[in-house]
Amino acid sequence: MSVSIITMRTLKLLLFTILISTQGLFSQTVNDNRHEITIYFTSSVSPINWTNPSVLFKSTNKCYINAAFKKNFYVIGHTQAIVNSTLLPASKYTAMTGAIQSEKVDLVLNKKVGFGALGSTIHGKMESEERIKKGIALYANRNKVSYIKFRINAEAATRILEFIDYYSRKNSYGFAPCEYYNGALWPRYEHEGSGCSAYGISLLDIANLLPLESKDWYVDVNVPMELIGGEFNNKKKIKFSTIFRTKSWHNGNGKEGVDYVNYKVFDPSIIHEWILNRRSQNDSIFQREEENGVPGLVIDRRNVTFDVNDSVLKHRTDTTLFAKHYYEYIRKLKNKFENLKSLRVSPLLPVL
């Protein structure tokens, strides 16, 4: 009798242990299936005003002047991303940045390309994890950074990670898109580089994660041709006085590339302010949260789907003057690569 009781008690204990272990495993499985992408937006050192070319130029100059008095990683704003997924062994930090910061200033101050700097191609690179962490921490202490976290499904995470790999990997022509920083480009177009904000936003766009509210996140202006110099306008040098006197953007009546150049850009400062304003509202879609002293929003997009037949990479059709010059630059780069490649395999020439 006693043996039977002991056996029953042992059996119950074993069943209870199995139940608890199973619940633990199930709970762990739920956690392990979580995927999310967090986009951080750092505002400019001081406010940048897009009202007209004169005000924009003055406010941008003020940014650089103010930046000279304290340590800064990013003067006119920045965008970075972190992907967390069980598809990864660890968090994936990613961001696009200029490789040589002085190039931006040199275009305006020395080469005097004016607003041609908006569409000029300079050296770019993927920002390191260490730099991203330091940048977020630095600007968190200054209340200059915020974020939006998107909870996503595995399919969206896979698509995002594939794009990050494409963007940072050298292609068959010997270059990676991330090596070319250009604020007038959109990285979903094949072979195009981009600016920091376009790269960050494209990570959301490729998985259909962008909310309707994103229409308020970008600037769309027509830059008068008389403010664009350098390679885009017969090597013309733009005087600062000309920019200061220009109190309006072009109205769009005329020919793009001749009378004006259309320029669109997602502005990190605008998005940063949007996040702070949204946090002050009683919102059931964008919920408030905070991580490591950084204010943010979180939105659940796990039920969002995308067309699997919609290619991650697209071909540009609406080519602006800035994009035309970039594609000419890439064409020359490809030709140079093919010529070098043919020299390496030619039996009549020594191997380089």
> If phi over 0 gives left and psi between -120 and 50 gives alpha, with beta otherwise, what is residue 38?
beta
CB contact at 8 A, 114 and 238: yes
State how far the alpha carbon of 234 is from the alpha carbons of 78, 229, 237, 315, 326, in Å: 31, 7, 9, 28, 16
CA distance 227 to 223: 7
Q: Which of 225, 250, 248, 228 is nearest to 237 (CA)?
A: 228
> Which pLDDT score is estimated for 70?
82
- Residue 44, pLDDT > 50, answer yes
Read off the DSSP letter of residue 44: P
Q: Which of 151, 147, 143 is nearest to 275 (CA)?
A: 147
CB contact at 8 A, 38 and 147: yes
> Which pLDDT score is estimated for 8?
46
- Residue 60, pLDDT > 50, answer yes
- Residue ranges of domains in the chain: 35-345
Q: Which of 79, 187, 343 is nearest to 352 (CA)?
A: 343
CA distance 100 to 103: 6
pLDDT class of 344 with cuts at 50, 70, 90: low
CA distance 293 to 46: 21
> Average pLDDT in the 44-50 region?
96
Work out the percent of the chain whose per-residue pLDDT is above 70. 88
CA distance 301 to 53: 38
- Residues whose CB is less than 8 angstroms from the CB of residue 276 and which lie 6 or more positions away in sequence, other chains included: 146, 295
- Residue 84, pLDDT > 80, answer yes
> Average pLDDT in the 176-201 region?
96
Work out the percent of the chain whose per-residue pLDDT is above 90. 75
CA distance 233 to 283: 48
pLDDT class of 33 with cuts at 50, 70, 90: low
Query: For 203-233, what is each residue's pLDDT tens digit?
Result: 999 999 999 999 999 999 999 999 999 999 9
Q: Is the dihedral of CA 126, 127, 130, 136 positive or negative?
A: negative
- Helix, strand, coil: what percent of the chain each, to 5? 45, 20, 40
